[in-house]
Structure formats: structure tokens, C-alpha cells
């Protein structure tokens, strides 16, 4: 399910992986091209091979192009971006992947207090943020308090769909609690 941000739909990395797997993806490898731990900068090359051929993509991450919550994980973000770009080439897609965006630098659509907006959305669903957070932690996720904004947006979209598997799992957990 694409993520809608500021009125535009963005495909997710996970959706690309699923689509490529369905289209005969066979291998995916990555190679660090540049790594500067002090400057927190990484460039990674991904190579994707499958029934459609072999494609490469570069991904970079540095403090200037990732949000503050992603900055400690800059190497993984560079790798994710590289894989996403190679997958887009493999699939013949030109659209931007949600994970490639630095959403923290984008203007907020609702309120400046993004955590407050997320809590408000949770309460509007008739849930308590403490309950949702407890379910997340018990399900093996980090607390939503530590998530970057894009993860909260994705969570809200998935949980807003009564037929989504994550929503069903939450409701089953709530009924058993």
C-alpha cells in the first residue's frame, strides 16, 4: 500500500521487494563504495539480478539528507536507498520510494508537534497510546515514541484499514488482553 505524503503517493521499499520477487528477482548484493564514520557519510552500490537482467543502483546517506532519527543508521539507509534504486530499474519504475525521502525536513502537514498529532490520531481511534505502545513492544517492535515520522505515518495508514493484517493482529491482542 503506497504512503501518501503531502498529497502524493510513494511506494515503499517493502513493496518494491515484493514486486521484484514476483517478477523473478534472484539475487541482491550490496557493496560499500564510500564510508566516512566521522562525517557519517556512506555510499553503497546494490546489484540486483533476476529474470529481467542485472541492474545496479547507488544510495547515499549523510546528515544533510536523512532525518535526525535516521542519522545514527546512515549506513543502513544508504544500503536501503541503493537497493530501492536498483529494484526500481529492475521493475522499470521511475517513482520515488518513501524511504528515500528526508521527511523530517519536509514541511509538516498538520501540527508542529508531530508526536502530539500521532497521539491524537491514536486516541481518535478509541485507543490509548500506552496500550498501542505496549502491543508494539510485545510484538517485537520499538516503542512508537522512538519511530521517525514516516514510520508513524505508515503505521497510521495500515492501522486505519480495518482489513490490514496489522490492525487485525492488534484487535486480536486487545480482545485477549
Domain ranges for the chain, please list them.
Answer: 3-100, 114-176
* Chain position carrying cell 546512515: 74
pLDDT class of 97 with cuts at 50, 70, 90: confident
- Length, in residues, of the chain: 177
6 or 91, greater pLDDT:
91
Residues 6+ apart with CB under 8 A from 46: 28, 29, 30, 31, 56, 57, 58, 59, 79, 82, 83, 85, 86
Per-residue confidence band for 91, with pLDDT thresholds at 50, 70 and 90: very high
* Interatomic CA distance for residues 19 and 16, integer angstroms: 5
Of 70, 69, 157, residue with least CA distance to 118:
157
Q: Which tops the pLDDT comparison, 5 or 175?
A: 175
* Neighbouring residues of 86: CB distance < 8 A, sequence distance ≥ 6: 28, 46, 47, 48, 55, 56, 57
- What are the cell numbers at 165? 493484517
CA separation for the pair 3, 97 (Å, rounded): 9
Fold assignment, 3-100: Double Stranded RNA Binding Domain (3.30.160)
Amino acid at each position: 500500500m503506497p504512503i501518501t505524503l503531502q498529497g502524493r503517493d510513494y511506494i515503499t521499499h517493502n513493496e518494491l521487494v515484493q514486486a521484484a520477487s514476483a517478477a523473478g528477482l534472484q539475487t541482491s548484493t550490496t557493496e560499500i563504495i564510500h564510508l566516512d564514520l566521522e562525517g557519517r557519510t556512506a555510499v553503497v552500490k546494490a546489484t540486483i539480478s533476476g529474470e529481467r537482467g542485472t541492474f545496479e543502483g547507488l544510495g547515499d546517506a549523510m546528515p544533510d539528507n536523512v532525518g535526525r532519527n535516521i542519522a545514527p543508521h546512515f549506513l543502513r539507509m544508504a544500503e536501503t536507498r541503493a537497493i530501492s534504486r536498483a529494484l526500481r530499474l529492475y521493475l522499470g519504475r521511475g517513482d520515488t520510494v518513501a524511504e528515500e525521502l528526508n521527511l523530517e525536513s519536509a514541511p509538516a502537514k498538520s501540527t508542529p508537534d508531530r508526536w502530539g498529532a500521532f497521539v491524537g490520531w491514536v486516541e481518535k481511534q478509541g485507543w490509548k497510546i500506552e496500550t498501542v505502545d505496549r502491543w508494539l513492544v510485545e510484538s517485537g517492535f520499538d516503542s512508537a515514541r522512538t519511530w521517525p515520522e514516516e514510520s508513524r505515518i505508515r503505521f497510521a495508514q495500515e492501522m486505519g484499514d480495518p482489513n490490514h493484517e496489522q490492525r487485525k493482529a492488534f484487535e486480536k491482542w486487545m480482545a485477549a488482553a
